[in-house]
């Protein structure tokens, strides 16, 4: 089958012929119709996640997709050949930039009926990330949350999901996107080109950090005592290592990596957690119901043809996309 792979970490993404995967017990073989790209894809390409997940080379990139079930393994009960599905690939079997992918049955869900394949492919990783971040912090109605990078792939969905929970939503974005994120439901918009969120905002219950770096530490100042800073880009913490069963050695490494931010959080009386989202067919069913009810909509910036997968990843890496970058595979 045709796929887009890397042969070495730090190397270029390129087309290659790869073996067609075969479904095992409890697996679905899905013919991919569309795949979406996420910052985690170029982080994987550059070898920045080797401490978290072990990947074999050559590696097919791509973490979420929509398509049609082409075959099922033994013991599959929820799906049959011909069903339209969407999913976040299992972390040890990524590879949605390909004509076929294998995924566990419990990681997939029926494709929302109101979405095209391209729209559906834009949902799984970003929506599951936001949903699991809000669950981790216990975000509920009446609370205040700051969502960084509101015009990005995760941010556009996170704003909508937070509003669905009845939260007051602040977000950061550039001048050109202020009206855009307000239309998605943001109550307060901080233009990072002219204002500093750390001095403008106070007493928030949660910060959802998708940027990392200096933003992670600065976000602590926004929180009220007992608040939560949940980051997908900050340093991994020991709790994450234990949750993912990464072993004692990696737990100690992550303890050191996150020591400073955890210490600063304790000094302020707030909580810090690193999040690496996990696939969940059950949560995708929940999200699909919200989508088909009109309560949530994916935001797609641009769709690239399959043969331009490398160009699609390069475009995502510029940081200019408003919403998701999608590759039309079939």
Q: Report pLDDT for 51.
A: 76
CB atoms within 10 A of CB 114: 13
- What distance in Å separates the CA atoms of residue 207 and residue 103, rounded to the nearest whole number? 32
244: confidence class by pLDDT, cuts 50, 70, 90 = confident
pTM: 0.96
- Three-state DSSP class for residue 5: strand
Structural domains present in the chain: 2-123+298-328 (3.90.180.10), 126-274 (3.40.50.720)
Q: Report pLDDT for 246.
A: 87
147 Cβ contact list (under 8 Å, min separation 6): 155, 158, 159, 162, 169, 170, 171, 172, 186, 208, 210
CB atoms within 10 A of CB 185: 16
Burial of residue 31 (CB within 10 Å: 0-12, 13-18, 19+) is: middle
Q: Report pLDDT for 50.
A: 82
Which range (111-120, 165-174, 235-244) has the least confidence? 235-244
Q: Report pLDDT for 287.
A: 98
pLDDT of 92 over the 90 cut: no
295 Cβ contact list (under 8 Å, min separation 6): 160, 164
User: Are the CB atoms for 185 and 163 separated by under 8 Å?
Assistant: yes
What's the mean pLDDT when you consider all of the chain? 96
126: confidence class by pLDDT, cuts 50, 70, 90 = very high
pLDDT per position as a tens digit, 31-63: 999 999 999 999 999 999 887 888 999 999 999
- What distance in Å separates the CA atoms of residue 292 and residue 315, rounded to the nearest whole number? 30
Q: Residue length, the chain?
A: 330
pLDDT per position as a tens digit, 253-302: 999 999 999 999 999 999 999 999 999 999 999 999 999 999 999 999 99
Placement of tokens 């399959």 in the chain: 306
- What distance in Å separates the CA atoms of residue 324 and residue 177, rounded to the nearest whole number? 15
Among the listed residues 253, 237, 240, 197, the one whose alpha carbon sits nearest the alpha carbon of residue 220: 197
Average pLDDT over every residue of 87-113: 97
pLDDT of 227 over the 90 cut: yes
- What distance in Å separates the CA atoms of residue 15 and residue 5, rounded to the nearest whole number? 6
User: Can you state the angle between helices 124-137 and 153-164, rounded to 10 degrees?
Assistant: 50
């Amino acid at each position: 089958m045709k796929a887009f792979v890397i042969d070495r970490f730090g190397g270029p993404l390129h087309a290659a012929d790869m073996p067609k995967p075969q479904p095992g017990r409890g697996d679905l073989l899905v013919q991919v119709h569309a795949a979406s790209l996420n910052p985690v894809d170029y982080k994987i390409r550059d070898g920045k996640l080797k401490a978290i997940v072990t990947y074999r080379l050559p590696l097919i990139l791509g973490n979420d997709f929509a398509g049609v079930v082409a075959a099922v393994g033994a013991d599959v009960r929820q799906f049959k050949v011909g069903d339209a599905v969407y999913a976040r690939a299992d972390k040890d079997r990524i590879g949605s930039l390909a004509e076929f992918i294998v995924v566990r049955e419990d990681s997939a869900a029926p494709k929302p009926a109101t979405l095209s394949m391209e729209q559906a492919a834009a949902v799984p990783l970003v929506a599951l990330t936001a949903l699991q971040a809000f669950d981790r912090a216990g975000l509920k109605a009446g609370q205040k949350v700051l969502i960084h990078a509101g015009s990005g792939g995760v941010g556009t969905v996170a704003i909508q999901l937070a509003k669905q929970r009845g939260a007051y939503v602040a977000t950061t974005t550039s001048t050109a996107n202020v009206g855009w994120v307000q239309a998605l439901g943001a109550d307060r918009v901080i233009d990072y080109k002219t204002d500093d969120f750390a001095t403008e905002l106070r007493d928030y219950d949660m910060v959802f950090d998708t940027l990392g770096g200096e933003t992670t530490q600065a976000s602590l100042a926004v929180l009220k005592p007992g608040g939560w800073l949940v980051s997908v880009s900050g340093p991994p913490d020991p709790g994450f290592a234990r949750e993912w069963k990464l072993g004692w050695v990696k737990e100690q490494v992550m303890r050191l990596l996150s020591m400073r931010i955890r210490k600063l959080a304790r000094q302020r009386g707030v909580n810090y957690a690193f999040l690496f989202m996990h696939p969940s067919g059950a949560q995708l069913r929940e999200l699909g119901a919200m989508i088909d009810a009109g309560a949530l909509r994916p935001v797609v910036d641009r769709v690239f043809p399959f043969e331009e997968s490398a160009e699609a990843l390069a475009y995502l890496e510029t940081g200019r996309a408003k919403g998701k970058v999608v590759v039309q595979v079939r």
